[in-house]
Amino acid sequence: MRATKRIADATQESLHRIFTVAEAPDSTLGLLEQEMSQNLVGFLNNHIVASKNALTDIEQDFINPHIPEQPEFVSDHMHHLLDKLVAQSVHTSSPSFIGHMTSALPSFILPLSKLMVGLNQNLVKVETSKAFTPLERQVLGMMHNLVYQQDDHFYQNWMHSAEHSLGSFCSGGTVANITALWVARNKLLKAEGNFRGVSREGLHCAMRHYGYQDLAILVSDRGHYSLKKSADILGIGQENVIAIPTDEHNKIDCHKLADKCQQLAAQNVKVLAIVGVAGTTETGNIDPLDKMAKIAKQNQCHFHVDAAWGGATLLSNKYRPLLKGIEQADSVTIDAHKQMYVPMGAGLVIFKDPTSVSAIEHHAEYILRKGSKDLGSHTLEGSRPGMAMLVYASLHIISRPGYEMLINQAIEKAEYFAELITQHDDFELITRPELCLLTYRYAPKSVQVLLARNNTEANKSVNLLIGKLTKFIQKRQREDGRSFVSRTRIEVSRYGGEKVIVFRVVLANPLTTKEILQDILQQQCLLAQESENFLPELLRAAK
Ligand SMILES: *Cc1c(COP(=O)(O)O)cnc(C)c1O
């Protein structure tokens, strides 16, 4: 009995302490904090062990489903986190981690994130986010301006208007795409006569009212899977996301797009939206947005641009023209947590027309009252953190020319790497970088000669074998932990549109050097030699 009371008292006391007193500077957490704030890169280098543990091994560390019945000291728990979690994390900010869109963060982000978390504002409503709400609206305005370049008068009118919004800040590109298509759906199937709109009566009634056979979303076959998710939850159906073939540069074939529109119209299928991709996830290419805008206009459908990854290119005056036509889009998705060097959880969708969001407006009695400036009345998400502050700060601290430098240098580095690959006897460049993303594979000279000589049919087996080797090298390199490239399977027109396995590289980290890129190729050559079957078999085939 007494023991139970003692535990209760101790718990009570520690609860009070964790809400009122900071950990001592010489405690484990205090020391970690110092180390992190002095040198984040050093901290990560020190504490992330290039672990060769398989995921299934790591799972053994996270297998207990019981919520602890005894409080732990923060320091004890920190040791646990460091050993089990941090040590086995992925070093995404390492300059030799060039496989994904997630990369290094500028050092100011860490203390600012702490400030953001400390303030714990909830952007769903003004009552919990005074100052943060206007700030987020300004960020949406800045990003709107980046895409649409309206005059100051426009922004004075709309940026802080209760009934309008220039966009919707969200957790990422997926939610941004869903939001854009949600707006498109509700605008298309709006209230009319006795029909009170799809948002109130549902898709079934909407289709009956408008007399459409079906709805479709058109995007190139390089479109991101989040569009299928969107179609799924919006009741459109994944199979109604129609993939339009791409040309040899991975850009949508506009003739086929226009033909498809005609064909669907003849079947009484209404095209809900045409989606252009500005920076495809796999190859980094940009669709001909201006031509797509024209086709969307002709077919009177919503034109959305998924610039989740490539949108930041607009910050570069040099490369901005690659996205020409984006200003004709009805909506644009941009992820700040990709090429804008903001931590995970920052995406946006921007609407050309500030009244668009009224199509998805929701109200409630205790918050989001009509006429309030609550951001939550036109976001899919409810409670949301103040991530906009990090975008705001980054835009100020890095500035447009700073971003331009980062973007230009990344593209130029990708061009350098592509050149390196082309010059190297044992590598084959598969997709040339338009932005800072490229794909390639390991294929010794003699094999490349064989591929060039063979017809498509004969190349099938060779490509299959190279695919196995690519997979082998990529896995080994990941396990080795010193560097990382990702891999994907893409259709390659020079092999008759056959899907081949390739290395995929995203050059986002400003600290990645040319030497690192040279080393990565060298490592891959060595790893290829470790393959006991695939390489010898390939070389035999090429004899
Ligand atoms: C990353 C990406 C998305 C999805 O964004 P998340 O932030 O991962 O939800 C959508 N489209 C494209 C083109 C992307 O690159």
pLDDT in tens, 151-162: 999 999 999 998
- Highest mean pLDDT among 8-17, 45-54, 467-476 belongs to 467-476
Question: For a pocket test of ligand 1, which of 323, 335, 344, 486 has the largest count of ligand atoms closer than 8 A to its C-beta?
Answer: 335
How far is ligand 1, taken at its centre, from the CA of residue 179, in Å?
13
CA dihedral of residues 56, 61, 64, 65 (deg, nearest 10): -70
Using the atom order of ligand 1, give the atom closest to the CA of residue 175.
9
What gap in Å lies between CA 65 and CA 56, rounded to an integer?
17
Q: Please, is 316 exposed, middle or buried when counting C-beta atoms within 10 Å of its C-beta (0-12, 13-18, 19+)?
A: buried
pLDDT band at 11 (very low <50, low <70, confident <90, very high): confident
Mean residue pLDDT of the chain comes to 94
Please tell me the distance from the alpha carbon of residue 64 to that of residue 259, in angstroms, as a whole number.
56
Separation of CA 241 and ligand 1 centre (Å)? 16
* Selection from 221, 171, 87 nearest residue 385 by Cα: 171
**Which residue is listed with tokens 């230009």?**
408
- Residue range 297-318: mean pLDDT, rounded: 98
Ligand 1 atom closest to the CA of 344, numbered from 1: 7
Q: How far is the CA of 89 from the CAs of 29, 194, 481, 507, in angstroms?
A: 18, 56, 11, 21
Q: Which of 175, 281, 331, 380 to mutate to test the pocket of ligand 1 (most atoms within 8 A of CB)?
A: 281
Torsion of CA 315, 320, 324, 325, to 10 degrees: 0
DSSP letter for 16, please: H
- Is the distance from CB of 186 to CB of 203 less than 8 angstroms? no
First to last CA, the chain: 83
Least confident of 50-59, 305-314, 441-450: 50-59
pLDDT digits (tens, 9 = 90+) for 174-203: 999 999 999 999 999 999 999 999 999 999
**Biggest alpha carbon–alpha carbon distance for the chain:** 86
What is the reported pLDDT for 151?
A: 97
Q: Is 173 in the pocket of ligand 1 (CB under 6 A)?
A: yes
Which of the given ranges, 87-91, 356-360, 405-409, has the highest pLDDT on average?
405-409
Residue 439 binned pLDDT confidence (cut-offs 50, 70, 90) = very high
Distance 174 CA to ligand 1 centre (A): 6
Q: From CA 91, how far away is CA 47, in angstroms rounded?
A: 10
Return the residue matching tokens 């087996």: 461
- CA–CA separation, 287 vs 279, rounded Å? 8
User: Which of 77-81, 323-327, 329-333 is predicted with the least confidence, judged by mean pLDDT?
Assistant: 77-81
**Residue 362 CB neighbour total at 10 angstroms:** 12
CA dist 146 and 280 (Å) reads 20
The stretch 86-95 carries a mean pLDDT of 92
Ligand 1 contact via 224 beta carbon (within 6 Å): yes
- Which residue lies with its CA nearest to atom 14 of ligand 1? 308
Calculate how far, in angstroms, residue 24's C-alpha sits from the geometric centre of ligand 1: 41
Atom of ligand 1 nearest to the CA of 101: 1
CA of 284 to the centre of ligand 1 (A): 12
Atom of ligand 1 nearest to the CA of 174: 9
CA of 173, closest atom in ligand 1 = 5
Name the nearest CA neighbour of 391 among 146, 211, 85. 146
C-beta 226 within 6 A of ligand 1: yes
Ligand 1 mean position, distance from CA 31 (Å): 36
Helix (H, G, I), strand (E, B) or coil at 444: coil
Q: Ligand 1 centroid to 70 CA: how many Å?
A: 41
pLDDT higher than threshold 80 for residue 2: no
| The pLDDT value given to residue 307 | 98
Model confidence at 36, pLDDT cuts 50, 70, 90, reads very high
DSSP state of 261: H
339 in contact with ligand 1, CB cutoff 6 A: no
Q: How far is the CA of 224 from the centre of ligand 1 (A)?
A: 7
Tell me 411's DSSP state: H
364 or 410: which leads in pLDDT: 410
Is the CB of residue 285 below 6 angstroms from any atom belonging to ligand 1? no
- Note the pTM of the prediction, 2 decimals: 0.95
pLDDT value at residue 1: 61
Residue 241, beta-bridge partner list: 217
CA distance 324 to 319: 10
Q: Does pLDDT of 51 surpass 80? A: no
Phi, psi of 206 (to 5 degrees): -60, -45
Separation of CA 233 and ligand 1 centre (Å): 17
Q: Is the pLDDT of residue 506 over 90?
A: yes
Residue 245 has pLDDT above 80, yes or no: yes
Distance CA 329, CA 540 (A): 52
| pLDDT attached to residue 159 | 95
Residues 273, 184 contacting (CB under 8 angstroms): yes
Using an 8 Å Cβ cutoff, are 171 and 335 in contact? Answer: no
Find the mean pLDDT for residues 420-436.
97
**CA 6 to ligand 1 center in whole angstroms:** 52
Task: Indicate if ligand 1 lies below 6 Å from the C-beta of 316.
Answer: no
Quick one: which atom of ligand 1 is closest to the CA of 335?
7
Atom number of ligand 1 nearest to Cα 280: 13
Residue 306 in contact with ligand 1 by CB distance below 6 A: yes
CA of 172 from ligand 1 middle (Å) equals: 7
**Which of 169, 224, 339, 381 is the pocket-test mutation for ligand 1 (most atoms within 8 Å of CB)?**
224
CA nearest ligand 1 atom 12, residue: 308
DSSP structure class, residue 423? H
Pocket of ligand 1 contains residue 347 by CB under 6 Å:
yes
Portion of the chain with pLDDT greater than 90, in percent: 81
- Residue-range domains of the chain with CATH: 2-89 (no CATH), 408-542 (3.90.1150.10)
Q: Give the Å distance between the CA of 211 and the centre of ligand 1.
A: 33
* Ligand 1 atom showing the smallest separation from residue 277 Cα: 13
Mean pLDDT score, 103-122: 95
- Collapsing DSSP to helix, strand or coil, 486 comes out as strand
Pick the range with the lowest mean pLDDT from 114-123, 486-495, 530-539. Answer: 530-539
What pLDDT digit, counting tens, does each position of 263-281 carry? 999 999 999 999 999 999 9
Tokens of 308: 């989740």
